[in-house]
Structure 1
Amino acid sequence: MIKLFATDLDGTLLKHSNVIKQEDIDAIHRLKEHGIDFAVATGRMERDIVKICTEIKHDAHRISQNGAFVDTKDNQKILAKTFDVATSSALHHAVSAFPNPFCITTADESYISFKTPEIKAMEDILYFPLVEGVDFANDYNEAFLPSKYMLLGEEKDIVGFQKKIDEAFHEVSETYLSDPHCVDIVPKGVSKALGLTALAAHLDIKPEEIAVIGDSYNDIPMFEMSANSFAMNTAPEAVKQKATHVVNDVFEAIEHIQGIVSTS
């Protein structure tokens, strides 16, 4: 029996320009009727999830920054994982060699190396503005640590640099192509599956009682932990192959799992 439904945001629940289909919102609200809890699992920050929950008028457990942070819908923080001071400084210096813009994210803020006209235009659809300037490579301390570095650019450029990061930092970091124009660098072991596992333990539910949906490579760990997995039809083929089902919209996945619940 499904007890928790977890959705990715960008490209899944969030369409172009941060639009959320009314059919998806209605389906999320119907989850409660079937005794199914709701979670968001995203590469975005926790504050973005809170903003979206306000917009759709529905609370959610929050797995943010690819699983680095997990907060329950009643605001209990059950997981927080960041890089240590030495690794933060070393990674900062390494990504500073990347010629395109890169972001550094902490639990509370998102910084960008420099804003191009394209990024300034992109900010129009962000829920919170980016802070320009990353001149703090040697200022990290226990109260100020990053949870994610993000490389932005064309796929061929970011994937090439991703390989260099993997070679140099594979013992302390994981990297994900979270979007055709974005590579995420997170602490070793961090994934949406890790966040979901922590949440499941807190809620006392089993992996087979979780249904998940997403559209990117960083969603694959979720697909691998649950047989109740859905990939968006717009996902890369390699991502779709890892999911049990392929759908066009979030509400289709919810209708499918509600059918399972109704007949179980």
Structure 2
Amino acid sequence: MHKKAVFFDADGTICDIEKGTPASAVEAITKLVKNGHQAWLCTGRSRAFVPDYLEQIPFTGMISACGCTIEKDGKRLFNKEMTTEAAWHSVEVLRKYGMIPVMEGADWMYYDKDEYNTDINWYADLITKALGAKWRPVKGYEHDLHINKISSKIVPGSDPEKACAELEDYYEFIGHVGEGLAGDTIEMIPKGFSKAVGIAAVCRIFDIAHEDTIVFGDSNNDLSMFEYAKTKVAMGNAAPGIKKLADYVTTDIFHYGIKNGLEHLGLI
């Protein structure tokens, strides 16, 4: 068998914001790497929001912020940032239309706690705890926001359509409405970037054949990598659109989904 490069989404695929990563997934990915294959984290989370327990998994490398940041063996190879002017303009536009900006960067995440809290999303305090020193308020950093992407929260009375229309020259939009961890959110990614773009860049840099690419995912921001990769594995808890594109639907994250999927493919 050719050695494969397997790209894993994070939330809903190999981890849960409350429960972390199941031991079976850690063991399966570790065995995958020992068998000579590559294992890449490919997450919508910005690099600042990759928690310690994912750092302990022996990933070959990480693609974060939907393709905006790429690293291998702990070395950052690429990082696409919005200009600080565009970042602050985005905050102003989102607030104008009643939305709440969560600004995501490779080194910090920025949000104001009086604006983004557990009244908006139940896990807001968990994010703050996980970030530690990597959390910064927007207030005081208005003109010094170093971000890759934005998660803009939809709240009653907000007008996401108008906000997106005003910012469409800057971003691609991925809607998450009532979907798992993301809640009612519009993910805003710089034009021309996606998880698929990140995977394609890794394949080009490290001479990985398309036929050797495999992806595991569950949510709408995995659609691009499911459309790109040769082999697609959907988690049992995946969104319907992801399952429709999958070559194989494994069990859910806490019922040995990663282990079962890798075994099905004959990789472990």
C-alpha distance in 1 between matches for 2:8 and 2:123: 26
Cα displacement (A) at 1:181: 2.8
Q: Partner of 1:150: helix, strand, or coil?
A: strand
CA 164–52 in structure 1, closer or farther in 2 if over 3 Å, else same: farther
Partner of 2:232: 229
Gaps of 5+ in 1: none
* Separation (CA, whole Å) in 1 of partners of 2:49 and 2:85: 28
Partner of 1:133: 137
State the Cα deviation string for residues 123-172 of structure 1 (Å, max 9, x = none). 236521474632368514xxx53211111246x878x51x3343223232
Corresponding residue SS for 1:127: helix
Give the counterpart letter for 1:250 in structure 2: I
Residue pairs, 1:1-264, within 5 angstroms: 1-15=2-16, 17-49=18-50, 51-56=52-57, 58-72=58-72, 74-113=73-112, 114-118=115-119, 119=121, 122-124=124-126, 127-129=130-132, 131=135, 133-135=137-139, 139-140=143-144, 144-153=145-154, 161=160, 163-177=161-175, 179-248=182-251, 249-257=257-265, 259=266
CA contact (8 A) 1:115 1:132 kept: no
SS of structure 1 residue aligned to 2:245: coil
Q: Percent identity over the alignment?
A: 22
What CA distance in whole angstroms lies between the structure 1 residues aligned with 2:88 and 2:118?
Answer: 28
Aligned equivalents of 1:157, 1:234: Cα separation in 2: 30
Hey, what does 2:254 align to over in structure 1? none
Q: Secondary structure at the match of 1:117?
A: coil
**Distance across 2 between alignment mates of 1:76 and 1:16:** 25
Q: 1:225 to 1:255 in 2, by over 3 A?
A: same
For the aligned residue pairs, the C-alpha RMSD in angstroms reads 2.7
Q: Secondary structure at the match of 1:78?
A: strand
More moved, 184-193 vs 232-241: 232-241
Label 1:219 to 1:106 Cα distance change in 2 as closer, same or farther (>3 A): same
Going from structure 1 to structure 2, the CA distance change for 1:177 and 1:30 (only over 3 Å counts) comes to same
Separation in 2, partners of 1:177, 1:98 = 16
Shift in alpha-carbon separation, 1:157–1:78, aligned structure 2, 3 A: farther
- The SS at the match of 1:107 is coil
CA 82–47 in structure 1, closer or farther in 2 if over 3 Å, else same:
closer
Q: Tell me the secondary structure at the aligned position of residue 25 of structure 2.
A: helix
User: Which sections of structure 2, spanning at least 5 residues, go unmatched?
Assistant: 177-181, 252-256
TM-score by length of 1: 0.83
Residues 1:90 and 1:54: Cα distance change in structure 2 (over 3 Å)? closer
The alignment of Structure 1 onto Structure 2 pairs a total of residues equal to 252
Residues 116 and 76 (structure 1), Cα distance of their counterparts in 2 relative to 1, 3 Å cut: closer
Q: Give the helix-richer structure, 1 or 2.
A: 1
The 3 A distance-change label for structure 1 pair 33 and 134 is closer
Change (3 A) 1:177 1:108: same
The question of whether the paired residues in 1 share the 8 Å contact of 2:93 and 2:166 is answered with no
| Corresponding position of 2:179 | none
Distance 1:194 1:54 in 2: 23
Distance 1:54 1:145, change over 3 A: closer
Could you tell me which amino acid in structure 1 is paired with residue 70 of structure 2?
V
Quick one: structure 1 residues 107 and 9, their matched pair in 2 at CA, closer, same or farther if it must change by over 3 Å? same
